[in-house]
Each structure stands twice: as structure tokens, then as C-alpha cells.
Structure 1
Amino acid sequence: MNPTEEIDSLIEKHPDWRGAKLAQMRAIIRGVDPAIVEEWKWMGAPVWELDGILVVGNIFKTKVKLGFMYGALIDDPDGLFNGELGGNQRRSVEFAEGDEVDEEAFATLVRAAIAYNRSKPRKTPARKTPARQTPAKQ
């Protein structure tokens, strides 16, 4: 299966509120920019990327978690981040059953993550230097 089909399957495997919440968040993420790519990584996590990883989704027994790879480095004007607050890089938005989401505020976080990814200096491939040649012994 391709990544989009894997994510579809994950949502279908959770016909309760968790699948519905992941589907809702997926629609918001994909609606921000048509260039966002869906991936399936780390043995079963939906990932959305654009110029790098933006958001990683996870379904747990009592919550749905949307982790922003560089959440600690982007503005959260509406205070949506409520998980992984102690780290210096990641932040997450976690939903329990019945939690509502401010869709525009969440889309603002996705746009900020895209802007952050685009502002990072591009990694240049390591220069491959040829092995030093030593003269053959005679």
C-alpha cells in the first residue's frame, strides 16, 4: 500500500472518535498546502511533509496526538500545544474524546511549520574526498 492508503486503513481500523479526529486533522493539514506529501514511517505513523517533516500523527488508547517536529521553534499564538512541552524541539497537540479543535489555529501551526522548514539552511551533501594515494612499495 502507498502512504495515503496506509493512513486510510489506520483511520478505518479506528471507527470511533479517534479515527474521526485523525481524519479531521488530516483534512486540515492537507488543506493548508496542496504540496504537502503524506508518508508512512516508523512502523506505522502517518507523517505529513513539505520541505521536511511537519506533523506526525499517532492514535493511542485514550488520545490522538499530532506531533510537530519543530514545534518548540515555531510560534503558537493560540496556545494549542499541550504535549511534549519540556523538550527543546518537539511539541504536540493532543486530543481526548470530546475535545474540539480550532481548525484555523491548527492550520496556522501547520503554516508556521512549513515556514520554519523553508527557513532552515539546506544540508549540502558531504564532500567525498578521494582516499589519499600512497606510493606502492618496491
Structure 2
Amino acid sequence: MDKSKSALTNDNDSASQFIDAKIEELGGWRGETLARVRSIIKQAVPEVVETVKWRGVPVWEHSGIICTGETYKTAVKLTFAKGATLDDPARLFNSSLEGNTRRAIDIHEGETIDEAALKALVRAAAVLNVSASTVRRKAVR
């Protein structure tokens, strides 16, 4: 993965290449899961921007951070930056439930991803970011 370390930028192409390399390096169920959630995120918000932050963590943004994709030995974790304010009728959030800002989804080996529910969460996070961005711009004027 040394070769892809240079991709640690906010340039969308190099960030996407870094994430490609990370998925390939992970392999197995974690690589497959990260690739699948990445695809779902891109389907939900086609204009999403991929970045890499915090020493190699994939981040998906649209007028702010939608979520991050961290990988651990026993889980792929999607952390939604403003998850506490999002409706989650499918109850996907199963981690980081104690705070008043973030929420996370831990996906373990063999678990099925509710694609429709995840797309709805991603879209809701993007809409929340856009509306917050609009409010900030109006306040500056």
C-alpha cells in the first residue's frame, strides 16, 4: 500500500484510487463489504465526493461529510457525521449510539446490508448537509 500513500489527498481521483487500493489490499469479506457500501453510497448520491482523511480512512462527502468507512478486524464501520439527527426507521445504526452527533453502522462478516435503508440514510445525510450549507451561506450575507 506504500504506492497509494501518495493518494492521501482531497483530490477526488487520487482519493478514489486510494480507496480502490485499500479495497484490494483488504480483500476477503472486509474488502467486499467496503466495496459494496461504496457502491451503495455512489448510487444513493451520484455526485458524492470521495476523500481520504485521518491516515487512510475513506470519506464520502456532499456539502460536508456524509460518512466514513473504517475497517477493523471484525467489522466495517460506517460512521455518519450527523447521524444522531437522521431518522433511522430500519434501525441500521448499531454503534456509537451514546453521543448526540455521530451514529455508526458496524457490519460484521456474513451480515446482509439493507441496501434500500442504507441508500435512504445516505440521501438524508446529503440533504441535511446541503440544507446546513445553505443556512450558513445565508447567514454570511
Interval containing the TM-score (normalised by the shorter chain): 0.7 to 0.9
Pick one of 14, 21, 36 that aligns with 2:33.
Answer: 21
- Partner deviation per Cα, 1:64-83 (whole Å, 9 max, x = no partner): 00000000011101100000
Is 1:84 equivalent to 2:104 in the alignment?
no
- Rounded Cα–Cα distance in structure 2 between residues aligned with 1:68 and 1:103: 16
8 Å CA contact retained: 2:50, 2:58: yes
Q: Which has the higher helix share?
A: 2
Is 1:74 equivalent to 2:89 in the alignment?
no
Runs (4+) off by over 3 Å: 123-126
- Rounded Cα–Cα distance in structure 1 between residues aligned with 2:137 and 2:58: 24
Counterpart amino acid of residue 9 in structure 1: A
Aligned to 2:136: 122
Report the TM-score when normalising by structure 1: 0.87
Q: Report percent identity of matched pairs.
A: 45
Is 1:41 equivalent to 2:61 in the alignment?
no
What is the CA RMSD across the aligned residues, in angstroms? Answer: 1.5
8 Å CA contact retained: 2:45, 2:122: no
Report the TM-score when normalising by structure 2: 0.85
Pick one of 6, 13, 17 that aligns with 1:5.
Answer: 17
Q: Give the drift of 1:15.
A: 1.1
Q: Give the drift of 1:12.
A: 0.6
> Structure 2 stretches of 5 or more lacking a match?
1-6, 8-13
DSSP-derived class of the 1:99 partner: coil
- Rounded Cα–Cα distance in structure 2 between residues aligned with 1:33 and 1:62: 27
Is 1:104 equivalent to 2:116 in the alignment?
yes
CA distance 1:4–1:125, change in 2 (3 Å): farther
Aligned to 2:77: 65
